[in-house]
A and B are shown apart, each in its own frame.
Chain A
Amino acid sequence: MDQRAVAVWQALRHRPARYLVSGWPWRCWAYLLSGTVLGYAALIALVLLVLAGIALSAVGVGLVILAATPLFGSAVGALERRRLRLIEPVRPAGPHGSVTGRGPVVSRLGNRLRERATWRELGYTVLFGTVFTLAGAGVMAVVSVSALLTVSPVVAWALAPETVMIIPGQPVTGPLDALPGPAAGIPGLVLGAYAAGLLAGLQARTVQFLLAPRDDEPSERVIELTRSRARLADAFEAERRRIERDLHDGAQQQLVALNMTLGLAETELRAAGSPTTELVSRARGEVRAALTQLRDLVRGIHPQVLTDHGLADAVAEVALRHPVPVTVDIALPHRLPEAVETVAYFTVTEALANAAKHSGAGAVTVVGRLRHGALRLLITDNGKGGADPAAGTGLQGLADRMAILGGRLVVSSPVGGPTQLRAEVPCSA
């Protein structure tokens, strides 16, 4: 949330006298006057939409209208952010996510409705149509009457010998008669100017609070950041591949060759009945242990079976080694983008590792499906639950990697179980 001071309040606070003769009162009045008109119109339209929605809900169309109503709030929000330029130097950025996709209208609507920003905009629209419109109308009424009173001598002079009636029942016959008018009108205008400044500032603050993006939600400004993070993640992944390949082509082959040479030596020494056989045997055992460790390490960096055979087979291999029985049910119509497969694979391994370590589970199921162009993973264990997703840096890191791909990771682990991990990653890449 932007903590920048409200411009009109600063002007009021620092130079209250100069404020009166600056452009500020005029800008605030313009802001409040246009706001009054817009606010009422928005409120009426909103009420009509809801009423139409309820009335037509039996037909089904009404439900669609009701579901789309929050979007009307978004439209008002967009207009309000633009209108704020009257009294603020900077227009707030839009709070909505950048990746609403090109999917069917229904899914885009769903995306919008899931955003909290959409509901804040709807809330603002209601607040705008009621409180701000009413207060703005009040201030502008004072300003209008005061202005009329201030200019009443001029009006009386211009219209003489006709009589003018500004206050009912008190006819004014000439300019001199009208002098009490400005006496009341000028202080009224001063009051109206300050009140307008305070009210407009309050509304500006409200706009910034409700309609501007929040740190935990994506905005236009973070799109570029997200892209650069994605590039970074790609580079990171490419680096893992390079390390894996270097180990495979280098150290692993060297050790295999060493093992083979030692094997040959062992065979010949044994044939010659040499007492050194035992030592060579031991050396070979050590090489084998190193090879095993290296193989596990390489698999942890990037499993080749994932590259060659895809997610389902790679997960099946992990399941085979898992200390808790794992049922794998991953049915995908085709291979997925590399980045999706990788993050999905490591999510499953992390979830399985957690299930084995903490949950006391006796069985785990892994289900994977492709739905509407997104990979959905559901990993459930029958353990005791109570896992704190924030405690594990592993899952946090995976959630970050998913976020880069526009996906999300949800962990639910009530005390008493079961622990369920849901992941959804779009495969649009």
Chain B
Amino acid sequence: MLRIVLAEDSVLLRAGLVELLTRSGHTVTAAVGDAGELARAVDADLPDVVITDVRMPPDHRDEGLRAALALRARHVRLPVLVLSQYVATAYATQLLGGGAGTGGLGYLLKDRVGEVAEFLDALRRVADGRTVIDPEVVRVLLAQQTEDRPLSRLTPREREVLALMAEGLNNQAIAQRLTVTEASVVKHSGNIFMKLDLDPTEGNRRVLAVLAHLRSRPG
């Protein structure tokens, strides 16, 4: 059971999420509608995880996301799951690259809450300190057409492993998902990091490195 602070400005969606989380055995200690209330609720409740919308009053821009980043400066181990309507890698990068904090991070499309089991699983992974990027965002990144880029040198299997890595799965979970041995996942991920010229790090940094790499374009 997780203690959750939820920030979502749509009343309908907020009620729906509270119901979903409560039915799944979690406790929503506060459900708020703007960034200021979110900060106050987190400071007061010290929840296990924060779920927040990107876009919130008063300006209806990315207040929710920025509020979450600011909170992590105060509560460094606070896990944050951001729900978004945008399949835009810029937000995911903003979240993952956004400074302080060691807690788990997640960027999920709001569509994902319909996949109840998957959504709750992702929430659990974020609360556990892992990084979760929405599969749709990862799909866009991996589907990009490249011209003589390292990404095009990855085998189809390595791409699958990379996608699951970005969803925050550890090697064991990736091995289960692909029904291969954990040893071969380790081998694949080693190849991926080598081909992408990345340092094989763990956790948030690993996903961030992959994400940043995939987004970067030769200038």
Contacts and interface: CB of A to CB of B under 8 A. Distances in A.
Interface stretch (A84-92, A162-170, A255-263): A255-263
Contact of A264 (B20, B90, B147, B218): B20
A109 interface: no
Nearest to A287: B114
A303 B87 CA distance: 11
B153 interface: no
B146 interface: yes
Contacts of A248: 55, 85
A52 B141 CA distance: 64
B140 A320 contact: yes
B13 A256 contact: yes
Interface in B28-87: 55, 60-62, 85-87
A362 B113 CA distance: 38
B104 to A, nearest CB: 22
Interface string A309-348: 1000110110111111111110100000000000000000
Interface in B125-151: 140-141, 143-147
Residue in B17, B85, B94, B147 with the greatest tally of chain A CB atoms within 10 Å:
B85
Contacts of A207: none
Interface in B10-24: 10, 12-13, 16-17, 19-20, 23
A169 to B, nearest CB: 90
A224 interface: no
A371 B166 CA distance: 39
B147 A320 contact: no
A256 B16 CA distance: 9
A292 B85 CA distance: 10
B116 interface: yes
Given A263-B113, A317-B89, A328 B217 contact: yes
Contacts of B197: none
A408 interface: no
A305 B88 contact: yes
A260 B114 contact: yes
A248 B85 CA distance: 8
B157 interface: no
Contact of A329 (B110, B114, B219): B219
A266 B20 CA distance: 12
Interface string B140-171: 11011111000000000000000000000000
Contact of B217 (A295, A309, A327): A327
Chain A: interface secondary structure? Answer: helix
A259 B114 contact: yes
Contacts of B60: 245
A267 interface: yes
A242 to B, nearest CB: 11
B91 interface: yes
Contacts of B13: 253, 256-257, 260
B84 to A, nearest CB: 9
A307 B20 contact: no
Contacts of B117: 267
Contact of B10 (A249, A307, A316): A249
Residue in A245, A320, A326 with the greatest tally of chain B CB atoms within 10 Å:
A320
B53 to A, nearest CB: 10
A320 B94 contact: no
A243 to B, nearest CB: 14
Contacts of A305: 86, 88, 90-91
A320 B144 contact: yes
B145 A308 contact: no
A260 B17 contact: yes
B88 A317 contact: yes
A70 B87 CA distance: 54
Listed from nearest, the 8 A-B pairs whose CB atoms lie closest are A259-B114, A325-B147, A263-B114, A305-B88, A253-B10, A313-B90, A263-B116, A309-B90
18 contacts: A249-B10, A253-B12, A260-B17, A261-B16, A267-B116, A267-B117, A288-B111, A288-B114, A295-B85, A307-B61, A309-B94, A313-B88, A314-B90, A316-B89, A316-B90, A320-B144, A322-B145, A325-B147
Given A262-B114, A292-B111, A304-B86, 19 more contacts: A252-B110, A260-B20, A260-B114, A261-B16, A264-B23, A267-B117, A295-B86, A303-B88, A305-B90, A308-B90, A309-B88, A309-B91, A314-B90, A317-B88, A319-B144, A321-B140, A321-B144, A323-B145, A331-B219
